[in-house]
């Protein structure tokens, strides 16, 4: 290890009105800590500053990471590859900080930083999404708070990443908002040594939107730390997350405004002229989480007992989380029926405390890693008071405490990976279980095949079981059975032949929201029959020189239960684009093309802002209209620049494009943004 030190300075200031004093204090503490750690490093070993362009490496082909020595003097020793800048998820899977530009970067350039092929965005960024296709990859056996429409931008445990970098790294993501506003996501990750890495990140978004009272105002702050001892016996990962998501709610367009919108009258091209159902409501989701995952190796591979156990470790996972969901409205609205008060202030509180202890043994005797785990889940979901009505008495809270036992087995036979994970609740006021088995065949980086099967039983979300509101019809308490989901899936992924996946799922006791024809009340219902759901996903890219055609297609079929479980028959996205280096010396990389999106007509679910949930409707079929986007993306060294004309064909046909009933999709809009990564 080189004895050269790397001088560095740190300036990273984020101001957000909702940030608490505690969060600001922690942020300043990390700032000072990182400054001391990175500037005064004369007495400690530093990482080698090693940068290289490896034209033969497909992952690094377009990476132009460089050390800028114009402002500070940096002594180079050796080479640094992109694989030295690592990102870990909660499962400890590894990816790398990537400054390349490809078509997937264009798909994921949104405020969620995720490909939203299976989602239909509302007009304003930061508002909710309609789900076009379902993926059953959440195998939790515990219920959640609900208000799912408000959770798309909420960072769960699996959305928080940890970093291991040889030099301090900063990344900024900026994107222009709708009408007014922007989203800025800033990340700074650093180390005090090779064994301790930390990161500070904040995403702030404010977007006015083109329609009345559709403002989005979000903030997500994240702090992560990962550490291991010098002898690599003790490892710990921890994070702190504080979030505040505010969305104005307008109830969609009135009947008269719908007619004006669909008529194409130029007088209403200014969407602020269209009247909405109300302009005085807001949905708010606040939350914070404290998470720790750590373990200690009792035996290691170099111990004298290695013939019995290659590795034996004991671990602990701690997760404490609080959420508040609020719906506020200055005056009650007849759309939702009569109310107890003229001023609506609904508020639900949710907290959970999760502790898990496990023992893991990796040995030739067990043919891989075997883990035994026991966890305790304590939760409380509450409102201010008990509600007594003519029909029933509705309690003020749901709370409970459960004990769960489980085990895992992970092994590898040559190129086959086998994984089994099972857990069941053995005591407490909840019941549920989960069994997951998967097998993966990885020939090389060009071909992989996998299959999985699972069975999951869990209680419906808490807002199905208990809900209180100032609106009289939005009060209930139910005793629903567990939702039981069984599924099998197959995935084929080949660089030569493309990607294909097939998932077959059966859902029993499916719980959903419905609005009876004779009433606008939205209420929870549990289906008494099974739902059979098939989802087939295909993708393949064809290349000719510098031109490429990327194709993605989803076919869906609900053979039983289609009257309540509704999805479009097919979804497609096709992108024709050109990409190439420009100018001598290749200082600029260009990517430009057109993306076509389409999904078939179906009775799309309606959106209820009081619940922040979607419910069934039978009045309007939505879909069957094409959406075209034009994009021009550039990469200059470690900066990626994105220009996009979204839905540029909006004025060429009938104006019948919707994200949900009463909520039109966005018109032609110009979007600009960038992602800039700094390596010091």
pLDDT tens for each residue of 4-39: 323 333 333 333 443 444 444 444 444 434 433 333
Burial level of 255, CB count in 10 A (0-12/13-18/19+)?
exposed
Query: What pLDDT band is residue 517 in, cutting at 50, 70 and 90?
Result: low
Query: What pLDDT band is residue 49 in, cutting at 50, 70 and 90?
Result: very low
- State the pTM of this model: 0.87
In angstroms, what is the C-alpha Rg of the chain?
A: 26
Query: What pLDDT band is residue 277 in, cutting at 50, 70 and 90?
Result: very high
How far, in Å, CA of 331 to CA of 352, rounded?
33
- C-alpha distances out from residue 560 to 485, 508, 528, 531, Å: 14, 11, 12, 5
Mean per-residue pLDDT for 265-282?
94
Decide if 37 contacts 190 (C-beta within 8 A): yes
Mean per-residue pLDDT for 293-305?
77
At the topology level, CATH places domain 85-91+106-679 in Maltoporin; Chain A (2.40.170)
Least confident of 25-29, 223-227, 355-359: 25-29
How far, in Å, CA of 97 to CA of 114, rounded?
16
> How far, in whole angstroms, is CA 429 from its chain's centroid?
30
- C-alpha distances out from residue 473 to 172, 346, 559, Å: 46, 13, 33
pLDDT tens digits, residue range 162-209? Answer: 999 999 999 999 999 998 999 999 999 999 888 999 999 999 999 999
pLDDT tens digits, residue range 95-139? Answer: 889 899 999 999 999 999 999 999 999 999 999 999 999 999 888
Q: What angle do CA 428, 433, 435 make, to 5 degrees?
A: 155
* Residue 377 pLDDT exceeds 80: yes
> Which of the pair, 70 or 318, is modelled with greater confidence?
318
* Residue 221 pLDDT exceeds 70: yes
Mean per-residue pLDDT for 500-519?
88
Decide if 243 contacts 155 (C-beta within 8 A): yes
**Token pair 């290890």 in the structure block, residue:** 1
Mean per-residue pLDDT for 421-432?
96
How far, in Å, CA of 405 to CA of 350, rounded?
24
Q: Could you tell me the residue ranges of all domains in the chain? A: 85-91+106-679
Structure tokens at 527: 């289906």
Q: 573 phi and psi, to 5 degrees? A: -140, 125
* Residue 374 pLDDT exceeds 90: yes
How far, in Å, CA of 594 to CA of 574, rounded?
8
Residue 520 has a pLDDT of 62
Least confident of 75-89, 235-249, 316-330: 75-89
Q: Where are the alpha helices (DSSP H) in 11-142?
A: 21-39, 103-107
Query: What pLDDT band is residue 260 in, cutting at 50, 70 and 90?
Result: very high
> Which of the pair, 22 or 263, is modelled with greater confidence?
263
pLDDT tens digits, residue range 399-410? Answer: 999 999 999 999
Query: What pLDDT band is residue 446 in, cutting at 50, 70 and 90?
Result: confident
Sign of CA dihedral 563, 565, 569, 575: positive
Structure tokens at 509: 């006791």
> How far, in whole angstroms, is CA 236 from its chain's centroid?
23
Within 13 A of 671's CA, how many CA atoms are on the CB side? 31
Mean per-residue pLDDT for 530-547?
97
- 37 three-class SS: helix
Least confident of 55-69, 73-87, 417-431, 593-607: 55-69
């Amino acid at each position: 290890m080189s004895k050269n030190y790397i001088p560095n300075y740190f300036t990273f200031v984020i101001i957000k009105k909702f940030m608490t004093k505690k969060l600001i204090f922690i942020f300043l503490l990390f700032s000072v800590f990182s400054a001391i750690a990175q500037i005064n490093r004369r007495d400690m070993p530093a990482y080698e500053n090693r940068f290289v362009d490896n034209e033969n490496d497909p992952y690094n082909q377009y990476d132009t990471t460089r050390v800028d020595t114009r402002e500070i003097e940096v002594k180079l020793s050796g080479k640094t590859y992109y694989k030295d800048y690592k990102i870990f998820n909660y499962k400890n899977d590894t990816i790398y900080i990537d400054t390349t530009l490809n078509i997937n970067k264009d798909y994921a350039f949104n405020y969620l930083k995720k490909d939203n092929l299976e989602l239909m965005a509302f007009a304003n960024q930061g508002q909710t999404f309609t789900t076009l296709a379902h993926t059953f990859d959440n195998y939790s056996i515990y219920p959640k708070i609900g208000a799912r429409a408000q959770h798309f931008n909420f960072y769960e445990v699996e959305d928080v990443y940890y970093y291991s970098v040889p030099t301090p790294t900063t990344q900024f993501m900026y994107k222009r908002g709708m009408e007014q506003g922007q989203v800025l996501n800033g990340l700074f990750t650093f180390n005090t040594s090779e064994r301790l890495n930390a990161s500070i990140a904040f995403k702030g978004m404010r977007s006015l939107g083109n329609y009345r009272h559709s403002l989005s105002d979000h903030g997500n702050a994240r702090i992560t730390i990962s550490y291991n001892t010098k002898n690599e016996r003790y490892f710990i990962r921890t994070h702190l997350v504080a979030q505040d998501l505010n969305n104005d709610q307008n109830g969609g367009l009135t009947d008269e405004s719908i007619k004006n919108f669909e008529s194409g009258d130029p007088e209403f091209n200014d969407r602020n002229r269209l009247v909405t159902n109300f302009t005085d409501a807001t949905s708010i989701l606040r939350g914070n989480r404290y998470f720790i995952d750590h373990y200690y190796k009792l035996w290691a591979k170099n111990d004298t007992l290695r013939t019995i156990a290659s590795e034996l470790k004991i671990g602990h996972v701690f997760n404490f989380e609080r959420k508040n969901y609020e719906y506020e409205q200055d005056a009650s609205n007849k759309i939702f029926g009569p109310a107890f008060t003229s001023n609506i202030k609904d508020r639900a509180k949710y907290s959970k405390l999760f502790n898990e202890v496990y023992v893991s043994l990796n040995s030739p005797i067990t043919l891989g890693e075997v883990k035994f785990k026991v966890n305790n889940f304590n939760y409380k979901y509450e409102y201010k008071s008990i509600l007594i009505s003519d029909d029933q008495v509705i309690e003020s809270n749901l709370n409970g405490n459960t004990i769960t036992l489980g085990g895992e087995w992970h092994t590898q036979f040559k190129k086959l990976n086998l994984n089994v994970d099972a857990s069941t609740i053995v005591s407490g006021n909840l019941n549920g279980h989960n069994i997951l088995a998967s097998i993966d065949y990885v020939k090389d980086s060009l071909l992989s095949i996998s299959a999985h099967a699972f069975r999951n039983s869990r209680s419906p979300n808490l807002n199905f079981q208990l809900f209180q509101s100032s609106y009289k019809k939005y009060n209930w308490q139910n005793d629903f059975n567990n939702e039981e989901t069984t599924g099998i899936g197959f995935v084929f992924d080949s660089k030569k032949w493309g990607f294909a996946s097939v998932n077959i799922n059966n859902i029993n006791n499916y719980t959903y929201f419905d609005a009876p024809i004779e009433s606008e009340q939205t209420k929870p219902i549990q289906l008494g029959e099974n739902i059979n759901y098939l989802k087939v996903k295909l993708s393949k890219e064809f290349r000719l020189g510098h031109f490429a055609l990327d194709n993605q297609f989803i076919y869906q079929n609900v053979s039983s239960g289609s009257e309540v479980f509704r999805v479009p028959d097919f979804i497609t996205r096709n992108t024709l684009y050109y990409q190439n280096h420009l100018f001598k010396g290749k200082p600029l990389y260009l990517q430009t093309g057109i993306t076509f999106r389409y999904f078939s007509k179906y009775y799309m679910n309606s959106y209820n802002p009081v619940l922040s949930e979607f419910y069934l409707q039978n009045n309007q079929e939505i879909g069957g209209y094409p959406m075209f986007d034009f994009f021009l993306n550039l990469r200059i060294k470690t900066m990626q620049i994105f220009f996009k004309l979204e839905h540029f064909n909006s004025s060429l046909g009938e104006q019948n494009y919707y994200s949900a009933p009463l909520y039109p999709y966005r018109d032609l809009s110009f979007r600009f943004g960038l992602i800039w990564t700094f390596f010091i």
